[in-house]
Amino acid sequence: MHCLAGKDRTGLAAALLHRLLGVHADDVMADYLLTNTAGDPARRIASAAASIRERYGPQMSDEAIVALMSVEADYLRTAFAAIDEQHGGVEAYAAEVLGVDAARRQAIAARLVA
């Protein structure tokens, strides 16, 4: 998975955690999409443009940079669809891939959910 600006892997990790804790999928998506509006996105994108062009080349258009610094609902939908298809759901994915079984999920929930 590509990750730029701490939004892709981090966003998926936060979304997985929310789902494991029982947060409704619509609320998970709404939280994920806050990346596009939280803080001052225009300033964040402008401040990253120089380093992105340095890394990927000066031909990077403003539109491409905005795409790299933003999220789309389809990104998260596609990730969860792949998890569902390959593992049967987030709980199975957490157990099989992350080593987070039911007992560990309960311990996480006890620490994070008031």
Active site residue 3: yes
Q: Which residue in 1, 3, 25, 41 is the catalytic one?
A: 3
Task: Say how far apart CA 105 and CA 99 lie, in whole Å.
Answer: 10
How many angstroms from the chain centroid is the CA of residue 46? 21
Task: Provide CB contacts within 8 A for 91, sequence distance 6+.
Answer: 20, 102, 105
Catalytically annotated residues: 3
